Amino acid sequence: MKSMEPNTSWLSRIIRPTSTRIIPGMGLSLGITIALLSICIIIPLGSVFSHGLSLPWDTWKVLLTKANVIQAFKTSLGTAAIAAAINVVFGFILAWVLVRYTFPGKALLNSMIELPFALPTAVAGITLSKLYTDTGWFGSILSQWGIHVAYSQIGIVVALVFVGIPFVVRSLEPVLETLDPIYEEAAFMMGASKFRLYRQVIFPELLPPLLTGFSLAFARGIGEYGSIIYISGNSFKNHTQAVSYVIMQKLNYADYSSATAIAIVLLGISFSILLVVNLIQNHHAKRIKGR
């Protein structure tokens, strides 16, 4: 079989083929892939980890137990979790409305959901900040009731809801599209109550994409920088310093060791979330195939 192998580029000779390859171009496409992945992603991230390994254990302990670092992690994780939960609720409503109903302005609504993806985070940041300060359009109304969004953790949540909403909607839409209303009608005809219908027919199907959407929005939220630094006020006293802000502060003082230590913890959290997302998707894909 090996002699029939038409592809003789160096890369395919190094990587043993697992089956006979007929289509040409493996060496070239894989070569480009590996080269770009290494130069642009693996080597730079590797530098962070290798720098982290060179730090003595005591440095780690001192750096990571500092009050402002611990507080920043609490702020980022807390606000990102609340924002992702809000996004799950509204993301579900938006996806449901977009898939199930026809109404005037649907196309506009659909393309508006892309806006937080396409809009620069710094623009979102200054815009929301201006809107929610006590003199802004929303802030002046809310402050009459004693709610101060800007320069508080609520402000961070608002900004994270803004940047996170497309993740939930886009995770849910494809699944909702495959969920045929016929099954719901069948369940309804057979006398299932509305509550049971939602609990036993719709909810189990939607749980994986809801979890995926939540995790993606959460992962984006804990590392977010541009959209939150203006509205948060970045105050240690008010607990509004995000982890990314603290890392940037360290970078500005050329304190690369502290920045690296904090970054590695944050990367660890992000990668765990990515792993959870992959597990959910694999599990779900298997369940569908198994039917």
Measured from the CB atom, is 152 or 170 closer to other proteins?
A: 170
- 56 is a site residue for other proteins (CB under 8 A): no
User: What part of residues 186-205 is at the interface with other proteins (CB under 8 A)?
Assistant: 188
> H-type helices in the chain, by residue range?
10-14, 26-37, 43-54, 57-64, 67-100, 106-112, 115-118, 121-132, 137-144, 153-178, 181-189, 194-197, 203-223, 229-232, 243-252, 256-290
In the 3-class helix/strand/coil scheme, how is 168-201 assigned residue by residue? HHHHHHHHHHHCCHHHHHHHHHCCCCHHHHHHHH
- Is 96 a residue that touches other proteins (CB under 8 A)? yes
Q: Min. distance of Cβ 236 from other proteins in angstroms?
A: 18
With CB under 8 A as the contact rule, the residue among 63, 83, 222, 231 that binds other proteins is 222
Contacts of 123 by beta carbon, 8 Å cutoff, 6+ apart: none
Candidate list 33, 140, 200, 235; residue touching other proteins; CB under 8 A: 33
43 binds other proteins (CB under 8 A): yes
- The secondary structure of 236-269 as a DSSP string is TTTT---HHHHHHHHHHTT-HHHHHHHHHHHHHH
* 51 forms part of the interface with other proteins (CB under 8 A): yes
Residues 258-277 that bind other proteins (CB under 8 A): 259-260, 263, 266-267, 270-271, 273-274
Could you say which residues in the range 71-90 bind other proteins, by CB under 8 A? 90
Find out whether 187 and 205 touch, Cβ atoms under 8 Å: no
Q: Which is nearer to other proteins, 67 or 118 (CB)?
A: 118
Give the range of 59-67, 120-128, 140-148, 198-206 binding other proteins by CB under 8 A.
120-128
Cα distances from 98 to residues 151, 177, 181, in angstroms, run: 34, 10, 14
First to last CA, the chain: 36
What is the nearest approach in angstroms of other proteins to the Cβ of residue 117?
7
CB-wise, 23 or 190, nearer to other proteins?
23
Cβ neighbours for 1, distance < 8 A, ≥ 6 positions apart: 20
25 part of the interface to other proteins, by CB under 8 A: yes
From candidates 62, 70, 123, 147, binder to other proteins by CB under 8 A: 123
Nearer to other proteins, 44 or 204 (CB): 44
Does residue 244 interact with other proteins by CB under 8 A? yes
| 162 lines the binding site for other proteins (CB under 8 A) | yes
Region near other proteins per CB under 8 A, out of 27-35, 66-74, 199-207, 231-239: 27-35
Q: What gap in Å lies between CA 246 and CA 75, rounded to an integer?
A: 11
